[in-house]
Structure 1
């Protein structure tokens, strides 16, 4: 690691159920605002809905907005906030050399079409013929361009002019970890100078809630904290993008860091083996904790899925470090969850303090000391473990 460069976070764009931008999130967190949840729209399931957002502010052309699905609008909006935060908006020269690494899921289903087909197919004398006809007419558009995962990166490029190299990762929580890891690794190794990394998720969609419900993983109302006694996943609509930059590049353009990203680690434990998740997470924490002092906190992006979350909580309890649950505040955003957690961790590090513990979350204790380091943990709901380290940039 000694031959690696530092990597600064020079811009953050964040939208969630708590609002948009760093100031709104800090006011909500520091003010003790409880989680914003919706227990009525998708009964019996719980979601953290996106705060009211004026998409025109970052996506001015209505035509661009219309051809995006909602998760793409969330991500494109958050990316614009990050570029504003970093002072890059409109700088065509730098944006043209800015690399992009995006974490994205699949597109959103056309629920009315799916419902109509499921209602009619049982009435058909030849259901196979009927389904083929629907594939050629109604279903095919819902599976075409708007659903491609790399369209988020494409829309960010079109709307904001980010035209460096581009990569898109799929794979639930791990894709968010790896998107940040690749951006960080390239800058640290000297093969990139500046990158936009992040992801987005729309929780207010019945198709994804159905998938979690079928796996018996969706949280039922009433809402409950995820670390204390995990009862399921309360998904949250959110988008988060970070501008990562080498100190040399940032200094040359007069930019100051919000925080320093000092490492990102991604693993995949053999979950069929008892204790594998805990062992894998503890091993990554040992690496991240090298040289850690009492000014360090842990930000957990735990999913709420019972078994992996219990394993994550056990490791956090043994760490002896103050813990804050990101998921309790904004819900779980799958691909976007690691970028969201990193955004909140960097925000706390830049403020130098932790926000208050959440009532009913026994792992969270009051902490009035100074925070200069934050470790982010993210154990996926059925695979993938990630850890990242954020430090104050002096």
Structure 2
């Protein structure tokens, strides 16, 4: 049996409420900056996308116009990742680059929804009316929502990534599986190089309504993830896109690429959350599969603030008090499919810069880390379902 190939992270593209690019994010995290909007969707709180000139990565206005915001965010972040890896415009590599995307169901056209609902209330929404609205009011890419694989399609059109393509749905768990499958393909030699990531637009009334039905939204006043009240907690949706270029060590070395870090392992689980402690037990089991050396490293989590999952994750963290914990939800908001790749990206960035960014937590759960990290565990526990972990290590 041949040894698994080593997988290097050679490209990182991030755009979020904190800005775009690695330097902007590193500066924002080290200065503990948080960008929230508590007025526009009051009483709900969102982390809005920072100002971005989409022309820089999506030069054709026609391409931009046919995308909704989540696609523009993702296509932009993918372009940043390709630039970061030094493969932008390299048709030979892009032509065989795998693409694995985690995506939601796409954005609804709220104006059309409201027109149909208003007509229904007035008794004017017969089959002919509905058919006319569907034919005339929606873009060809819409069917009251959008196809989840349109993000991958637009990345292929705009950036020329035209190897195999996979799109996973399933909120936070989708991106955990996207990373897991990408790593498995590279380790086995089925793939040399892959583009992996997700995008999320949190500034959407339809999403806020959807999550309000489950009582998931953080309301009225912002608080860091670990400081949120158990009875009135929840997540603040965030807008962000994050993509990674992951490739085999041999492929990277052959083209002279400089890695940020090594993706050593990705493990996933789907606990049946019917009994208290199920998430804690799931995370315990995943931790044992990672092969982490001791409890004195760093851990980046996409903890949501939603209960009871956040308390159960905290119970797991209390078993590893030697780890310096960082919750991305405080700085970025909760970005659903994007949260896990964002954690992997920040882990790789921290390892490449020889330091973990400082804590941004008034409760004391997050502590300073003075030493140079050599490995960082990334944790994802979905607000409703799905758990996963990744082990990201420094290149020796």
Bucket of the pairwise TM-score, normalised by the shorter protein:
over 0.9
Answer yes or no: is the 8 Å Cα contact 2:113–2:144 preserved in 1: no
Q: Report whether the alignment pairs 1:302 with 2:303.
A: yes
Change (3 A) 1:126 1:390: closer
Indicate the SS of the match to 1:227: helix
1:270 pairs with one of 257, 261, 272: 272
Structure 1 counterpart of 2:222: 223
Answer yes or no: is the 8 Å Cα contact 1:30–1:355 preserved in 2: yes
Answer yes or no: is the 8 Å Cα contact 2:234–2:307 preserved in 1: yes
CA deviation after TM superposition for structure 1 residue 313, in Å: 1.5
Indicate the SS of the match to 1:147: coil
Answer yes or no: is the 8 Å Cα contact 1:121–1:130 preserved in 2: no
Render the CA deviation track for 1:181-230: whole Å, top value 9, x for unaligned. Answer: 11111001111110000000000111001101111111102111222335
Q: Report whether the alignment pairs 1:314 with 2:323.
A: no
Structure 2 counterpart of 1:14: 14
Aligned partners of 1:392, 1:109: CA distance in 2, in Å? 41
State TM-score, norm by structure 1: 0.95
Select between 200-209 and 23-32 the one with higher mean Cα deviation: 23-32
Aligned partners of 1:290, 1:41: CA distance in 2, in Å? 43
Stretches of structure 2 that go unaligned for 5 or more consecutive residues are none
Structure 2 counterpart of 1:189: 188
2:357 pairs with one of 355, 358, 361: 355
Aligned partners of 1:22, 1:377: CA distance in 2, in Å? 21
Structure 1 counterpart of 2:52: 53
Answer yes or no: is the 8 Å Cα contact 2:10–2:258 preserved in 1: yes
CA deviation after TM superposition for structure 1 residue 322, in Å: 1.0
CA deviation after TM superposition for structure 1 residue 362, in Å: 2.7
Answer yes or no: is the 8 Å Cα contact 1:7–1:246 preserved in 2: yes
Select between 366-375 and 57-66 the one with higher mean Cα deviation: 366-375
Stretches of structure 1 that go unaligned for 5 or more consecutive residues are none
Structure 2 counterpart of 1:248: 250
Structure 1 counterpart of 2:82: 83
Change (3 A) 1:127 1:250: same
Aligned partners of 2:272, 2:202: CA distance in 1, in Å? 28
Aligned partners of 1:142, 1:77: CA distance in 2, in Å? 19
Answer yes or no: is the 8 Å Cα contact 2:138–2:144 preserved in 1: no
Structure 2 counterpart of 1:38: 37
Indicate the SS of the match to 1:157: helix
Change (3 A) 1:44 1:146: closer
Structure 2 counterpart of 1:280: 282
CA deviation after TM superposition for structure 1 residue 385, in Å: 0.4
Aligned partners of 2:153, 2:353: CA distance in 1, in Å? 34
Aligned partners of 1:83, 1:290: CA distance in 2, in Å? 30
Change (3 A) 1:298 1:126: closer
Indicate the SS of the match to 2:14: strand
Change (3 A) 1:193 1:372: same
CA deviation after TM superposition for structure 1 residue 138, in Å: 3.8
How do 1:1-394 and structure 2 match up within 5 A? 3-33=3-33, 35-124=34-123, 130-131=129-130, 134-138=133-137, 143-144=142-143, 147-229=146-228, 231-292=233-294, 294=296, 296-320=297-321, 321-394=323-396
Aligned partners of 1:305, 1:42: CA distance in 2, in Å? 19
Select between 136-145 and 22-31 the one with higher mean Cα deviation: 136-145
Indicate the SS of the match to 1:65: helix
Aligned partners of 1:126, 1:200: CA distance in 2, in Å? 34
Change (3 A) 1:82 1:142: closer
Answer yes or no: is the 8 Å Cα contact 2:295–2:320 preserved in 1: no
Render the CA deviation track for 1:115-144: whole Å, top value 9, x for unaligned. Answer: 222223111167666546544554685733
Answer yes or no: is the 8 Å Cα contact 2:109–2:145 preserved in 1: no
Q: Cα RMSD (Å) of the superposition?
A: 1.9
Aligned partners of 2:391, 2:332: CA distance in 1, in Å? 20
Indicate the SS of the match to 2:209: helix
Aligned partners of 2:242, 2:149: CA distance in 1, in Å? 16
Change (3 A) 1:378 1:293: closer
